[in-house]
Amino acid sequence: MYLKGAAALAGVAALLAIATVLKGDFGDTEGKIFATIAATFVGGSCLMAGIACLAQRSRLLGQAGIALAVGGFVLWVEQIWANHDSEAYWKVLGLLLIWTLVTLMGTTNALMTRRQRGLHLATLACAAAAGVVASLMVVRSNGDLWQLFAVLLILTLLGQILTPILERTAAQPAERPVERDLGSLGDVRVVAIRPAGKRVVRIGDRETPLGNDESVVLRQS
């Protein structure tokens, strides 16, 4: 559901961007439209991920995602079109954006996680730490902590990349043997094999197809 919603949102945003470009006259209004599209995409993605997390009972992340998505979208769009000239207000908007993105990382990672709980918690911790460092840089208007922020961001992105890979690996069943000995009846051994794409009973050189609703039973005559 989340992926379908994100795809639909991306498609609408792309269509609006294309329509704006095709007008051919790129000015201040068009710039505001593009900024609004970007805010809609980020806010909409965070909102849908939050709702999906609520459905999976990740209530804290889900509620945080929804609150930040709605609040951040309203304030950013209002700033884009009203253009307030206030350094303090820009810092508030910057903090909202930082924590919206942190929450988006957490919710999307939670949606991908089924077995890798340790990796999920580590990724969430790195994202939160990166958010704290970025917030300090915004509040202080000082970029001295950029290296620590970069390291934490890299670790967060690494967790985002590894989660679906390890989840897929863990979900794959163990490789079954080509032949499995089921038992014997007198001097006859009963062996299950895995012929590609078909279900058959093979007695000596004779091969008989087996229906999907049929089983084989051996009885002594």
The answer for residues whose C-beta is within 8 angstroms of residue 105's C-beta and 6 or more apart is 123, 124, 127, 156, 160
Q: What is the pLDDT of residue 131?
A: 96
What is the value of pTM for the model shown?
0.68
C-alpha angle 95-99-103 in degrees, rounded to nearest 5: 170
pLDDT at 8 over 60: yes
Please write the tens of the pLDDT for every residue from 19-36: 767 766 667 877 888 888
In the structure, what pLDDT confidence band is assigned to residue 68 with cuts at 50, 70 and 90? very high
Residue 193 has phi, psi (to 5 degrees) of: -125, 170
Mean pLDDT of the chain: 83
Buried residues in 179-196 as b, exposed as e (16+ CB within 10 A): eeeeeeeeeeeeeeeeee
Please write the tens of the pLDDT for every residue from 82-136: 988 888 999 999 999 999 999 999 999 998 888 888 999 999 999 999 999 999 9
Lowest pLDDT segment from 78-82, 153-157, 171-175: 171-175
pLDDT at 204 over 90: no
In the numeric block, which tokens belong to residue 158? 């690494």
Burial of 172 (0-12, 13-18, 19+ CB in 10 A): exposed
- Mean pLDDT for 170-189 is 66
Q: Where are the domains of the chain?
A: 1-112, 117-173
